[in-house]
Structure 1
Amino acid sequence: MRVVVQRCKEARVTVAGETAGAIGEGLMLLVGVTHEDTEKDAKYLADKVAGLRIFEDEAGKMNHSVTETGGAILSVSQFTLYGDCRKGRRPNFMAAAAPEEAKRLYDYFNRELAGHGLGVETGIFGAMMDVSLTNWGPVTLIVDSRA
């Protein structure tokens, strides 16, 4: 399982012009699931993301997590995180999990995040979505349960 974590001042996802999820300060997550992932991977990443110390303290050092700052999460599923671009010019998505399994683990991941006391907003799994954010810093990290 792979998550792109972006610290943001605000983020929004819309589907067909309607807002599906929106947050103020917090973390915008792009979440990819591969066919080898399990609930153990999802829980590991939820715990990792909830505890990442990437918000500044009074001294300007990254010392606080989204859980500590009271921020929120916008979690968006993105199978293209498992796109393989090594051959040709069209990505191969063979490493991405089948939609049913990916949705099950994505939903589990979001429930685990909420279990940390975080407000979790989402897009609509499998829909064509427009995502916008104001990346704060910018701070962007890639966290992978297999790395």
Structure 2
Amino acid sequence: MTCSLRGILIHFNNRISEVAAACVMLGIGVQIIAAPVPTDYHALDMLLVYISGDMVAAGFILGGAIRMAALIANGHWPKYGPWIRSIGALAGALLWSQMFLSLIVLPAEKLTSLNAPFCLVFTCVELLSVYRALAMRDHYGRGV
């Protein structure tokens, strides 16, 4: 993989959605650290019931970093790469689904963001990524 745009696109050609999800996870983690979650932002309500905001941020950063490492090394770890990718995508699906559920259970007057469709779509894309990583594990991530 070269550090040019062309080289990056060639390396991640059929995994761009997974790269985007990993980048979003990293970005959310950094944002939570830089500016703690306000009480009127309800997308993380279900997660914050069980763990602290710092742990949520660490989970997003750790999940995003592990996914990015697995995507970069994909093909070089033919036995473990697809499994790491699928575990990362499953963790992402869990996070996005919790955010989606936090938003749809709110009464209309408390709903302050339009992120519910985004979280639902990301949940579905993550589940498709789990399937694709496991279905193509014998092809070393290079398509069918």
Instruction: Specify if TM > 0.5.
Output: no
- TM-score, normalization: structure 1? 0.26
Judging by fraction of residues, say which structure has more strand: 1
Q: Which has the higher helix share?
A: 2
TM-score (norm 2): 0.27
Which structure is higher in RCO with an 8 Å CA cutoff and minimum separation 6?
Answer: 1
